[in-house]
A and B are shown apart, each in its own frame.
Chain A
Amino acid sequence: MSEKSFFDKYMVPLAVIICFFVVSAAVVFGTHKILEYAALQKVVKQKERTEKIICGNSILLLKQNEFFVKNAEKAIKDAKEKEKQEKEKDKEKDKEKDND
């Protein structure tokens, strides 16, 4: 009976070890990818939340600005009217003085 060659002797154990190695590497790589994806999703969600907050703040600022502009216009209008009234009053006083 002929002796088994080195290859015949160790072929099956070697194949099993290589199989385990490949499967283990795939498991580790898969876990790494899943965790990477989860981290990315977390970042994207945080970004969306931050964007939403920024949008909300911008809208609030715009509204504030609008309110201030309106108030300023009203104040200018009031001031002009007051000036007009004062001028009219001055004119009336001048007229009264002239009449006297």
Chain B
Amino acid sequence: MIDHRSFTKKILTENPVLVMAAGICPAVAVTDSAYSGLLLGCGTLLVLLLSSLPVTLMKSIIPEKAACASHIIIIAAITSVIQMLFSSWFPYVTEEVGIFIPLIAVNCIVIESVNGFARNNPALPTLFNGLGAGMGFLIILLLMGIIRESIGKGTLFGDPVFAEDMTLLPFAVLLPGGFFLLSLLAALIKHINRMISQKQKNAKNNHIEEEEISS
């Protein structure tokens, strides 16, 4: 039976960017446009999935002493392949994102997911964990890119949002604006998580009370 909870957990309660505070640097630096955020998110998701799979499948072959080095080699190779593919398919956006595509290889989310989870778990949970972490990162990057671009530049994916050529808050495109938005999103997700846990607690208490009454 596949455990779907790890997937949803990584998107909401254990979101790599907003809850675990991993990969903040690319999340703030790259998301001044929605395209860049989408590209970097997709790149990270692909690297996560493609590097988790060989690691989890070959965990019995790789000796303990060579594990870390082998994992880093695998991640670096896959990142290089992704970078080459992106620069041939989307040359302009890749140029805009710049150094952050090769830096996926040293992203905390990727290292943690591959070196920590994939090494000790079977293939399917590893895939779900990688998919969840990658999707969590991608969603936040895309959301930040959309908000910052539409507010700061007045465009969305390069097309103008408003009828007149105007920008609401040019501060949003700058780095402090990125940090501000990130903190707002982190507060929002913390609030949502608290509400969910409160609901679960209430449901549990109600269940116990019902059991006590029936007994």
Q: Which residues of A contact B (CB under 8 A)?
A: 10, 12-14, 16-17, 20-21, 24-25, 27-28, 31-32, 35, 38-39
- State whether B65 touches A24 (Cβ < 8 A): no
Shortest CB-to-CB span from B88 to chain A, Å, is 5
Q: How far is the CA of A25 from the CA of B73 in the complex (A)?
A: 9
Chain B positions within 8 Å of A35 at CB level: 84-85, 88
Chain B positions within 8 Å of A16 at CB level: 61-63, 66, 70
Q: How far is the CA of A92 from the CA of B70 in the complex (A)?
A: 110
Report if B81 contacts A (CB, 8 A): yes
Report if B74 contacts A (CB, 8 A): yes
Residues in B44-83 with C-beta less than 8 Å from chain A: 61-63, 65-66, 69-70, 73-74, 76-77, 80-81
- Given A16-B61, A16-B70, A17-B69, A28 and B77 touching (CB < 8 A)? yes
Shortest CB-to-CB span from B119 to chain A, Å, is 14
Per CB-CB distance, the 5 closest pairs between chain A and chain B, nearest first, are A24-B77, A13-B66, A13-B65, A16-B66, A20-B70
19 pairs, CB–CB < 8 Å, chain A vs chain B: A12-B63, A13-B63, A13-B65, A13-B66, A14-B66, A16-B62, A16-B70, A17-B66, A17-B69, A17-B73, A20-B70, A20-B73, A24-B73, A27-B81, A28-B77, A28-B80, A28-B81, A31-B84, A35-B85
Q: Which residues of B contact A (CB under 8 A)?
A: 61-63, 65-66, 69-70, 73-74, 76-77, 80-81, 84-85, 88
Q: Which residue of B lies closest to A24 (CB)?
A: B77
Q: How far is the CA of A28 from the CA of B85 in the complex (A)?
A: 11
Tally of contacts, chain A with chain B, CB under 8 A = 44
- State whether A24 touches B74 (Cβ < 8 A): yes
Q: How far is the CA of A68 from the CA of B61 in the complex (A)?
A: 80
Shortest CB-to-CB span from B38 to chain A, Å, is 21
- State whether A21 touches B88 (Cβ < 8 A): no
- State whether A27 touches B66 (Cβ < 8 A): no
Q: How far is the CA of A27 from the CA of B63 in the complex (A)?
A: 22
Q: How far is the CA of A21 from the CA of B77 in the complex (A)?
A: 9
Of A17, A24, A31, which one neighbours B85 at CB under 8 angstroms? Answer: A31
Known: A17-B70, A31-B85. 13 other contacts (CB 8 A): A10-B65, A12-B63, A12-B66, A13-B66, A17-B66, A17-B69, A20-B74, A24-B74, A24-B77, A31-B81, A31-B84, A35-B84, A35-B88
Chain B positions within 8 Å of A38 at CB level: 88
